[in-house]
Amino acid sequence: MNNGSDRTAQVFVSHRERELGVLGPFPVGRPRWHDVEPVNEHLAAALGVPTVVLRVLDVEGGDGGQGGLVSYHAEALADPGQVTGLRAATEAELAALRPHPLRAEYATATGVRAALDWAERELAAAGRPVVGPVTQVKTWNLAGLFRLPTATGPVWLKTGRGFAVDEAAVIGLVDSVDPGFAPTVLGAEAERRWLLLDHVPGEDCWGPSAEVIAATVPRLARAQAALAASYPGGAPAGLPDRSPRALLPGVKLLLDGEAGAELTADELRRAHLMNDQLPALIEQLESCGLPATVLHGDFHPGNWRSAGQGTVLVDFADSYYGHPAIDGLRPADFTSEERWSQAAELWSEAWRTLVPGSDPARALRLAAPLAHLAYAVRYQEFLDGIEPSEYRYHAGDPAAELRAAVAAFEAL
């Protein structure tokens, strides 16, 4: 059995409520569970029709979202007729297909067909009809991603969950203060969290250069300062308020709930001591003078795209209203020590200029425990909003962030 970073797959295949059987196991070649494009390529070759992966059913081995033997459910988008080489599903496999109230709409055959049909109608109405096969690139417990070819370049369909923010609305906010810093929205169905985005040329900025850091970090600060000035009375409509004081009830729920139960007795004692002192810490943070504003929510370099000239931010699903230092800290875990030092200095310099008399460097230091607590609360929201088969994506994450928050607090 594969227990390393290599991934093998076996796939239960259906077509419009008809169970076709299970194909595999077969090697995939790329490790991440949500990377389903090669899985669909293998299925299409075997079945002779296009498919979409609906969701992960089970994983044996693997860790951290990659590797192991991954069992999927896929839907054939056309009738493959008589197919050889598929085995009958076991009772356990059939049980995994039973409906669940927290299943994502895009993780069902009817839901994914509805999203694809909507996307094709929207693009046709916009004068950019789909001109070839749609490719499913990713699907996981938080979203699905499809590439739709048009005569003037690819378009991306993102299907999200109800606990994700309305990304089109947030992109509109960013665009109002810095056009071009976010992708172009071609269509949106806010209630169902369907989003059509024009293609952003370039590459994701993993391992960003000094030039990319310099182009991106101060630009976010400028956009956030402008948004703070535009909404001085609080969060824009529809945007969750996760400013430091609004975060406190969620932290207490974590400590009193399953995340707290995962801590050792000593860890929980220290976490409660930290929690008791959070109001004082928040007062110190507020004294640094930076305004609450619209946050990206996951401002790591993998959500920056660049073609060498300028940067575009993508994936606003976790956006909220909060303290800008939370975004400012996010690159720290995704960059080299040298690049993080540069990012922190540029972020602080930008905010010192934007808010004269403020102390952004101190804010960045004081916000470190609160950043971990914000992610702990968000991860718990994920767990509360997904079905049990998806827990493997985020099991243990709230407790891990609580531990990191305590360590950061004790280091102040």
Q: What are the pLDDT digits (tens) for 338-361?
A: 999 999 999 999 999 999 999 999
Question: What pLDDT does 308 receive?
Answer: 85
245 by Cβ neighbours in 10 Å (0-12 / 13-18 / 19+) ranks as middle
| pTM attached to this predicted model | 0.94
Residue 332 above 60 pLDDT? yes
Residue 225 above 90 pLDDT? yes
Q: Can you read off the two tokens belonging to residue 356?
A: 């004269």
Query: Which amino acid type is present at position 18?
Result: R
For residue range 372-405, what is the model confidence (pLDDT) as tens digits?
999 999 999 999 999 999 999 999 999 999 999 9
When pLDDT is cut at 50, 70 and 90, the band that residue 5 belongs to is: low
Question: What pLDDT does 159 receive?
Answer: 98
Question: What pLDDT does 390 receive?
Answer: 95
Rounded to a whole number, what is the largest CA-CA distance in the chain? 73
Fold exhibited by the domain 204-410: Aminoglycoside 3'-phosphotransferase; Chain: A, domain 2 (3.90.1200)
Cβ burial 356-371 (10 Å sphere, 16+ → b, else e)? eebbbbbbbbbbbbbb
DSSP-assigned letter for residue 6: -
Residue 273 above 80 pLDDT? yes
When pLDDT is cut at 50, 70 and 90, the band that residue 2 belongs to is: very low
Question: What pLDDT does 1 receive?
Answer: 39
Question: What pLDDT does 93 receive?
Answer: 87
For residue range 134-180, what is the model confidence (pLDDT) as tens digits?
999 999 999 999 999 999 999 999 999 999 999 999 999 999 999 99
Following DSSP, what letter does each residue of 210-260 receive, concatenated?
HHHHHHHHHHHHHHHHHHHHH-TTSSPTT--B--HHHHHHHHHHHHHSHHH
The percentage of residues in the chain with a pLDDT greater than 90, rounded to a whole number, is 92
Average pLDDT, the chain: 95
Question: What pLDDT does 277 receive?
Answer: 98
Can you give the residue ranges of every domain in the chain?
7-98, 106-198, 204-410
As a whole number, mean pLDDT of residues 224-237 equals 93
Which CATH number applies to 106-198: 3.30.465.10, 3.30.200.20, 3.40.718.10, 2.60.40.350? Answer: 3.30.200.20
Residue 131 above 90 pLDDT? yes
The percentage of residues in the chain with a pLDDT greater than 70, rounded to a whole number, is 99
Question: What pLDDT does 124 receive?
Answer: 97
For residue range 277-313, what is the model confidence (pLDDT) as tens digits?
999 999 999 999 999 999 999 999 999 999 988 899 9
For residue range 185-214, what is the model confidence (pLDDT) as tens digits?
999 999 999 999 999 999 999 999 999 999
CB 182 within 8 A of CB 203: no
Reduce the DSSP state of residue 29 to 3 states and report it.
Answer: coil
Query: Which amino acid type is present at position 22?
Result: V
Cα 182 from Cα 115, distance rounded (Å): 23
Question: What pLDDT does 152 receive?
Answer: 96
CB 279 within 8 A of CB 405: no
Residue 3 above 80 pLDDT? no
Residue 94 above 70 pLDDT? yes
